[in-house]
Amino acid sequence: MQRIRLRYTKRGRLRFTSHRDFQRAFERALRRAEVPMAYSAGFTPHPKVSYANAAPTGTGSEAEYLEIALTDARDPDTLRVLLDESLPPGLDVVDAVEARTSGLADRLTASVWELRLDGVDPADAARAVKAFTEAGTVEVQRTTKNGVRTFDARAAVAELECLASAETHSSLPDRPSDQPCAILRLVVRHVTPAVRPDDVLSGLRAVADLAPPVPAAVTRLAQGPFDEETGTVTDPLAPDREAAATAPQPAAATAAATAPVPEGPA
């Protein structure tokens, strides 16, 4: 059995796709691309697909991850192209590696988010960010299935800044552009309870009364291991790429590469 890890995106209007909707679309793409999937046992077999830390409905993402199990080996990049062509534009498969290490989900310890606040003056946003980052704790409330829960939104935030430029990584043509716009960059650790971008926005409202007139456009730019030294989020697929680069060649390939070249007739 071969395992392939994929990175995919949710762009444009497809950021409103729910995780369940994406699962259905992806399983159809697997069938269209004729991927030799491994299936679970039991009365209702399902393709072996493992999703890792999917973004909430309504948020865009450049860094969603999943892993599939195959019954026959396939070239990861060829498989990526076939799956990308079988999915609608906006749900794009942008990277693929063979899984050569364990614990992909355990590596996703932090995310980088972009928060686009239309109708908010950047100076007001910068003041709110300063108040938030200087606070020791910022208590916010979230309604859960067990009732209203209060927790600290500040502790999980490794970095929060208001960008000087309105140029963003995400393309949102459906958003108005003839008004002030503040762009926030957020690095948040994945902790329990999870702190989401909307919790940080609630914190900004609590400490500085910052309330965007329209809902924020939120995009995840990256997720992966958090480097405490540099404060950056690194590529979670890098260990698999490194393992593939250092893996010994199969015996047949090695023998072919080292076999002497027969000499032609004198």
Q: Exposed, middle or buried by CB within 10 Å (0-12, 13-18, 19+), for 143?
A: exposed
pLDDT of residue 166 exceeding 60, the answer is: no
Query: Quick one: average pLDDT of 198-205?
Result: 96
Under DSSP, the state recorded for 39 is B
Assign 257 a pLDDT band (cuts: 50, 70, 90): very low
Q: Tell me the domain boundaries of the chain.
A: 2-106, 108-227
The pLDDT value recorded for residue 136 is: 92
Q: How far apart are CA 62 and CA 9, in angstroms?
A: 5
Q: For the domain bounded by 2-106, which CATH number is listed? A: 3.30.70.580
Assign 1 a pLDDT band (cuts: 50, 70, 90): confident
Lowest average pLDDT, out of 88-97, 127-136, 239-248, goes to 239-248
Query: Quick one: average pLDDT of 47-56?
Result: 94
Helical (H) or strand (E) element with 199:
helix 197-208
Q: In this structure, which topology does domain 108-227 adopt according to CATH? A: Alpha-Beta Plaits (3.30.70)
Assign 170 a pLDDT band (cuts: 50, 70, 90): very low
Assign 202 a pLDDT band (cuts: 50, 70, 90): very high
Q: 204 versus 255: which is more confidently predicted?
A: 204
Query: Quick one: average pLDDT of 156-167?
Result: 82
pTM for this entry: 0.86
The pLDDT value recorded for residue 265 is: 53
The pLDDT value recorded for residue 262 is: 54
pLDDT of residue 165 exceeding 70, the answer is: no
The pLDDT value recorded for residue 252 is: 45
Residues 72-76: contacts with CB under 8 Å, at least 24 apart: 72/2, 72/36, 73/2, 74/2, 74/4, 74/35, 74/36, 76/4
Q: Average pLDDT, whole number, for the chain? A: 89
Do 2-106 and 108-227 show the same overall fold? yes
Query: Quick one: average pLDDT of 48-59?
Result: 94
Lowest average pLDDT, out of 66-80, 138-152, 188-202, 215-229, goes to 138-152
Give percent above pLDDT 70 in the chain. 88
Total H helices, total E strands in the chain? 7, 12
Give percent above pLDDT 90 in the chain. 79
Phi, psi of 240 (to 5 degrees): -70, -40
The pLDDT value recorded for residue 49 is: 96
Lowest average pLDDT, out of 73-87, 123-137, 158-172, 244-258, goes to 244-258
Closest CA to 220 of 172, 171, 186: 186
DSSP codes of every residue in 76-111: HHHHHHHHHHHS-TTS-EEEEEE--SS-HHHH--EE
pLDDT, tens digit, 9 for 90 and up, residues 120-148: 999 999 999 999 999 999 999 988 888 88
